[in-house]
């Protein structure tokens, strides 16, 4: 199987990329019942299999991740992505940062910002990932799921945004303008503009 020969960092970043596709397809305002069903299935598969695929390369886990990637693609292809992708595409175009890495560096920060606009759905994301949300409110569950995603990225050795040497905070104004220009900005669950994109870049970088 071709995927079993991929280096762990590539499996990790592309796996989080698939997760970003699914989470944004599920939580953006363009979502529908059909895309929700696809997205939540992809999230469930990723929660069950990503770490195992990266760390152990078992056949079942790698196959699950391949299926999850396809299903997540079907979800966002018929829904949309949102602010994470707007920012990640700006980073990729300007710095040539790999797309999956860029998504992974931004997903937790943007998701926390988005919780007020899709609290129930982010709580459902947490549950689909396998996070124990027993006894929690929807808001608590939503944030616990995002904490899990952040920890998962750390465990998979995804680089921190501030550790990428080519990134310069002086570029955030330009990058924010590029992100705002992207179409998926319009379907982010919480309104976002250039000023907010600057804040999100700064938060991801550790300035705030």
pLDDT tens string 8-63: 889 999 999 999 999 999 999 999 999 999 999 999 999 999 999 999 989 999 99
Question: Residue 52: is it exposed, middle or buried by C-beta count within 10 angstroms (0-12/13-18/19+)?
Answer: middle
Cβ within 8 Å of residue 104, ≥6 positions away: 12, 13, 16, 17, 20, 153, 158
- pLDDT, tens only, 118-174: 999 999 999 999 999 999 999 999 999 999 999 999 999 999 999 998 999 999 999
d(CA 50, CA 162): 24
Q: Which of 18, 5, 88 is nearest to 46 (CA)?
A: 18
- pLDDT, tens only, 60-92: 999 999 999 999 999 999 999 999 999 999 999
Q: Where are the domains of the chain?
A: 2-205
Query: Which superfamily, per CATH, for 2-205?
Result: Dehydroquinate synthase-like - alpha domain (1.20.1090.10)
Structure tokens at 183: 């179409």
Check residue 9 and give its pLDDT.
Answer: 87
């Amino acid at each position: 199987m071709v995927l079993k020969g991929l280096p762990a960092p590539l499996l990790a970043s592309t796996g989080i990329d698939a997760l970003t596709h699914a989470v944004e397809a599920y939580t953006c305002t363009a979502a529908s019942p059909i895309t929700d069903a696809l997205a939540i299935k992809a999230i469930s598969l990723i929660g069950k299999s990503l770490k195992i695929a990266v760390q152990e390369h078992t056949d079942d886990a790698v196959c699950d991740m391949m299926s999850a990637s396809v299903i997540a693609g079907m979800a966002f292809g018929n829904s949309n992505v949102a602010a994470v992708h707007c920012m990640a595409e700006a980073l990729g175009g300007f710095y040539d940062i790999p797309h999956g890495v860029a998504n992974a560096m931004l997903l937790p920060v943007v998701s926390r910002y988005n919780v007020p606009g899709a609290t129930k759905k982010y709580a459902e994301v947490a549950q689909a990932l396998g996070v124990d949300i027993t006894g929690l409110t929807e808001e608590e569950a939503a944030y616990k799921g995002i904490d899990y995603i952040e920890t998962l990225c750390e465990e998979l050795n995804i680089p921190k945004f501030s550790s990428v040497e080519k990134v310069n905070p002086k570029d955030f104004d330009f990058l924010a303008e590029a992100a705002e220009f992207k179409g998926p900005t319009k379907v982010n669950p919480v309104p976002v503009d250039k000023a907010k994109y600057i804040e999100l870049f700064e938060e991801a970088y550790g300035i705030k």
